[in-house]
Amino acid sequence: MEKKKVKVGFFSLTCCEGCEFAVLDLEEKLLKAFDYLEIVESRVLMEKIKPAAVKLDIAFVEGSVISKHDLDKLNYIREKTDFLVALGSCAAIAGINGIRNSLPEGIQERMRQKAITPVKEKAYPLSSFVKVDYILNGCSVNELEFLDFLNKVLHGVIPKLEEVPVCFECKLKGNACLLLKGILCLGPVTYAGCGALCPSQNAQCIGCRGFTKDANFDSLDNLFKEMKQSKKERFNLFTYFNPLPKELSVLKEEK
Amino acid sequence: MITPEKPELAEIISISQDTADTKTFEVKFVDKSVGKKFKFRPGQFMMISVFGFGEVPISISSSPYKTNSIKFTIVNVGNVTNALHQLKKGAKIGLRGAFGTGFPLQKFRKKNILFVSGGCGLAPLRSAIYAVQEKKSEFGKISVLFGCKTPENVLFDKDMKQWQKEKFQVLSTVDNPNKNWKGNTGVVTGLFKHLTFPPETTIVMMCGPSIMIHFSLIELRKKGFKDEQMFASLERLMQCGVGYCSHCNIGNKYTCINGPVFTAKDLEKLPMKEN
Amino acid sequence: MNYLLKKENLPKFLELLKKKFDQVIVPVKNETGATCFQPYSGQEIFLEARTDFSAKEFFRPAKEKTFSFKKKNSSYEIKPEYDTAKKVLFGVRPCGTHALNTLDELFIKFFGEDQFYSNKRKNTTIIAFQCNKACENGFCASMGTSKAIGHDLLFIERGNDFFVRAETEKGTSLLDSALFKHTSDSEYSSKINCENELDTEDIEENLFSNFNHSVWKEESERCLSCTSCTQSCPTCYCYTSNDEFVFGSDNESERFRVLDSCQLQRFTKVAGNHLFRPSREGRLRQFVLHKFSYYKKHHCIHLCVGCGRCITACPVKISLVDIANKIQKHSLEESK
């Protein structure tokens, strides 16, 4: 690893700040990482932030863009950052904030009117506005994946997003398949990296790490249909964290 | 007892910058007894380890008659090759191999030889060209065709000049010429019209992108070349080099043990698309 | 020499084995309800049917460290990491013993010895368990794998006892206990009537020559590329090799073999992000052809032991037996 410390900042847009806390869960391992990192900005990690205009090597940005304030902040971070990482599903795919994007237009309109500050028409992931160099997806982000990312970039390796579904890791762990038990699960179409956290606890995968490029939505939805699930159930599951895939536009109920 | 996957330490003894993204590394085994026993055929590849970064399959680009040191010509395209490009003279890397079949040069005696290459595909062929150069009297006429994207991507300038001195026919072409480019433009198959020797007594060795190999085979067949006269070196994801990992599987062949050099006759039988 | 062991004494026998071996591996049901092999620590043994997951994990693990590299004065120390623990595998089915035999062809007899595999193989004593009925989707009768091979001991259920046959000296040495009673009995049947049948005649040629048969596209359309098939398979061995730096160290790195799957697009991805096998059709075909055609060409043995796990594990019910039979039928009709 380089002797010169890498300048790192953590930033939050609209979100619960849970991803930054997930990183804190690394405890001693994070302290060890501090040998190589200089935290320049972080509301959670620092007592006092000195919002210096220094150039950052890596910025971790959590949260979605839902307002002009978010967008200004994002543009400011992008400008002074070398390598920008979208941290967590809000930043990567709009995540929880994005639920409203799939709601009927009338409800969306009312939500926008009732918001305390002026909000944008939709909730957006960072990539809608700026170049994102890497994505660490998940709600919340997987701390071991975060550590692996750090370990790689500190050695000059640019990590690759692996095109692997949750099922791959789920089977590696020797779990029984939820789909075979008759439980809806988005494992086959969702990016792995979480160690199949939910399916290992007998809980369905709800797609928090985003859909894979190789996803076979039609076939999975047909399987759900065979499991006698209503259009609404299927729609709600597919749009929990992600925008509705265009292959499944039939699920959208026009109101 | 052998461990086919154990890398052998080697030292980088010289580095030359060929083009903006391509370097040639000259390496030597640290253990002299390993170096003494080392032999290879042109067209064979080795697995290069950059410790901590991983392994990549790279064809040997130096002469099989000079095994004191080995040369690899490497384009910076991924994490491992990028790490290699950062290394300085004296750095240690790991080597395994040589693997694969290589070109059966001993079968080509008395024949005219046509080399067809695209981009960094000239690197594995250079080893074969050196071999032919070394035993020039055993072969007929030699022709080296080379195509690449821009004049800046032209590899092995010095070698090409040397081959011209040896009375080899050397022709290069680029897709996008600049003002100073005096050679041909267009794809490498466009150079076939300059060929002077008869197909019946000629062997073709080629290496380059699969699209180049595909169209070269079509054009050469039209000129009367038979499939058993044409040899091509293929690119696949070789990871173990010994047929264990199955990544380089094409139909019932493993590129790492049955290839990477195949005759066009073999290729005909292999499912090249969607294999 | 043959023996009888009272069924109720099985845990006592396993405890005895624990004293002799570093690890005793047994079939159990895990917390998620899947049946698999785990190190024995008093769990209830699952012997009703073949397990959902094979014992592959103990020979070709999901992630296995192969080398550690240590930088020392501008040079490196390269150290292979062999697993030399003494293990005993109890309750592996005949198809499981054939799976190991099949992998031996590649990892021991083909290109020199792969010591990462062969060390585990040689240090593991195999106690096979004879099936007496067909399992879900199994077609071992068609593959000729219903009789165990290469094992040290064979257990056969017989009323309230296990009838135990010792096949090797290594096996016999484990029976030196009052738990085992001699018996003059020596007969047992390995015949299984499988509902699922596969016509294996000329299968390697027929499948390969029907590379463009419509069945590949039809079946692959509903494939989720979830990799359940390759991971539950006892013989799917394809792996990727990865290097990682030891966290917090500049000088130490490790190389791992990680189980891969031909059903993933990344399996054929090369630098520049080019995919050699992008379509689902091609990937499904690779799985089936590797099983019944390619491996046989190189190693004279099918890479399938007819356990039927891939069929059971598939959420969308794709069956390699149905695919292969469809092509076999097509070939037969064509040859008429």
CB B146 within 8 A of CB B122: yes
> Average pLDDT, whole number, for chain B?
89
Q: Which residues contact C188 (CB under 8 A, 6 or more apart)?
A: C130, C154, C156, C163, C165
The confidence band for A2, taking pLDDT boundaries of 50, 70 and 90, is very low
- Residue C305 pLDDT: 95
Residue with the larger pLDDT of the pair C208 and C273? C208
- Residue A119 pLDDT: 84
pLDDT of C127 above 50: yes
- Residue C26 pLDDT: 96
- Residue C66 pLDDT: 94
**Cα–chain center distance at C20:** 25
Q: Count CB pairs under 8 A between chains A and C.
A: 90
pLDDT of B261 above 80: yes
Please state which of the ranges A3-12, B41-50, C91-100, C255-264 shows the lowest mean pLDDT. Answer: A3-12
Task: Give the C-alpha separation, A129 to A145, whole Å.
Answer: 25
Task: Give the C-alpha separation, C90 to A22, whole Å.
Answer: 41
- Best residue of B237, B256, B258 to probe chain C, by most C CBs closer than 10 Å: B237
CB B271 within 8 A of CB B260: no
CB A6 within 8 A of CB A128: no
pLDDT in tens, C18-54: 999 999 999 999 999 999 999 999 999 999 999 999 9
pLDDT in tens, C82-105: 999 999 999 999 999 999 999 999
The confidence band for A31, taking pLDDT boundaries of 50, 70 and 90, is confident
The confidence band for B275, taking pLDDT boundaries of 50, 70 and 90, is low
Count helices and strands (H / E) in chain A. Answer: 10, 5
Half-sphere exposure at residue B64, Cβ-oriented, CA atoms within 13 angstroms: 23
Residue with the larger pLDDT of the pair B274 and B208? B208
Is A1's Cβ below 8 Å from some Cβ in B?
no
Cβ–Cβ of C30/A35 closer than 8 Å?
A: no
pLDDT in tens, A86-112: 999 999 999 999 988 888 888 888 988
The confidence band for C275, taking pLDDT boundaries of 50, 70 and 90, is confident
- Residue A126 pLDDT: 95
**Neighbours, chain B (3 or more CB pairs < 8 A):** A, C
**Neighbours, chain C (3 or more CB pairs < 8 A):** A, B
Closest Cα of chain B to C270: distance in Å? 6
CB burial of residue A83 (10 Å; 0-12, 13-18, 19+): middle
> Average pLDDT, whole number, for chain C?
92
- Residue A117 pLDDT: 82
ipTM for the predicted complex comes to 0.91
What residue in C sits closest to A182 (Cα-Cα)? C315
The confidence band for A1, taking pLDDT boundaries of 50, 70 and 90, is very low
Which residues on chain A are in Cβ contact (under 8 Å) with B79?
157-158, 160
Closest Cα of chain C to A105: distance in Å? 32
pLDDT in tens, A60-93: 999 999 999 999 999 999 999 999 999 999 999 9
Q: Which residues contact C304 (CB under 8 A, 6 or more apart)?
A: C143, C235, C291, C292, C320
The confidence band for A49, taking pLDDT boundaries of 50, 70 and 90, is low
The domains of chain C are located at: 2-335
Cβ–Cβ of A157/B53 closer than 8 Å?
A: yes
The confidence band for A12, taking pLDDT boundaries of 50, 70 and 90, is very high
pLDDT of B239 above 90: no
Distances (CA, A) of A124 to A14, A106, A128, A206: 10, 19, 6, 19
Q: Which of A35, A163, A172 sits opposite C264 (nearest CB)?
A: A163
Nearest-5° Cα angle at A249, A246 to A254: 145
pLDDT in tens, C186-197: 888 888 899 999
Which residues on chain A are in Cβ contact (under 8 Å) with C228?
167, 171, 177
Residue with the larger pLDDT of the pair C27 and B177? C27
DSSP string, C65-133: EEEEEEEETTEEEEEE------EEEEEE-HHHHHHHHHHHHHHTTTSS--HHHHHHHHTEEEEEE--SS
pLDDT of B74 above 70: yes
What residue in A sits closest to C28 (Cα-Cα)? A174
Task: Give the C-alpha separation, C261 to C238, whole Å.
Answer: 7
| β pairing state of B169-174 and B142-148 | parallel
pLDDT of C56 above 90: yes
Contacts 24+ apart (CB under 8 A), B212-215: B212/B116, B212/B118, B212/B121, B212/B147, B212/B187, B212/B188, B214/B272, B215/B187, B215/B189
- Residue C270 pLDDT: 80
pLDDT of A123 above 70: yes
Structure tokens at C233: 């398979």
pLDDT in tens, C107-118: 998 887 888 999
Please state which of the ranges A1-5, A134-138, A164-168, C176-180 shows the lowest mean pLDDT. Answer: A1-5
Picking from C43, C157, C142, the residue whose alpha carbon sits closest to that of residue C93 is C157
Q: The tokens 């994207």 sit on which residue?
A: B149
Distances (CA, A) of A27 to A8, A16, A143, B202, C108: 17, 20, 10, 68, 44
| β pairing state of B142-148 and B112-118 | parallel
Per cent of chain A over pLDDT 70 is 95
Please state which of the ranges A134-138, B194-198, B270-274 shows the lowest mean pLDDT. Answer: B270-274
- Residue B241 pLDDT: 84
Structure tokens at B170: 């050397």
pLDDT of B115 above 80: yes
Cβ–Cβ of B86/A155 closer than 8 Å?
A: no
Picking from B140, B131, B155, B118, the residue whose alpha carbon sits closest to that of residue B232 is B118
Domains, chain A, ordered by start: 6-154 (3.40.50.700), 166-253 (no CATH)
pLDDT of C336 above 80: no
The confidence band for B2, taking pLDDT boundaries of 50, 70 and 90, is low
Is A252's Cβ below 8 Å from some Cβ in B?
no
| β pairing state of C153-158 and C124-129 | parallel
Q: The tokens 């249909």 sit on which residue?
A: A225
CB burial of residue C212 (10 Å; 0-12, 13-18, 19+): exposed
pLDDT in tens, C210-253: 988 999 999 999 999 999 999 999 999 999 999 999 988 888 99
Say whether the peptide bond before residue C68 is cis (omega within 30 degrees of 0): no
Q: Which residues of B lie inside 8 Å of C (Cβ-Cβ)?
A: 1-7, 9, 30, 49-55, 77-78, 81, 90-92, 94, 235-237, 239-240, 242-247, 249-252, 254, 257, 271, 274-275
pLDDT in tens, A165-181: 999 999 999 999 999 99
Q: What is the mean pLDDT of residues B141-160?
A: 90
What residue in B sits closest to A1 (Cα-Cα)? B52
Q: What are phi and psi of A56, to 5 degrees?
A: -105, 145
> Average pLDDT, whole number, for chain A?
89
The confidence band for B1, taking pLDDT boundaries of 50, 70 and 90, is very low
Q: What are phi and psi of C181, to 5 degrees?
A: -110, 140
- Residue C77 pLDDT: 92
Q: What are phi and psi of B151, to 5 degrees?
A: -55, -30
- Residue A50 pLDDT: 64
Q: What are phi and psi of A38, to 5 degrees?
A: -120, 115
Q: Which residues of B lie inside 8 Å of A (Cβ-Cβ)?
A: 52-53, 79, 82-83, 86
CB C34 within 8 A of CB A174: yes
Structure tokens at A98: 């994005």
- Best residue of A34, A151, A172, A183 to probe chain C, by most C CBs closer than 10 Å: A172
Picking from A173, A171, A151, A149, the residue whose alpha carbon sits closest to that of residue A161 is A149
- Residue B153 pLDDT: 87
Q: Which residues contact C332 (CB under 8 A, 6 or more apart)?
A: none
pLDDT of A207 above 60: yes
Is C188's Cβ below 8 Å from some Cβ in B?
no
pLDDT of A3 above 70: no
The confidence band for A52, taking pLDDT boundaries of 50, 70 and 90, is low
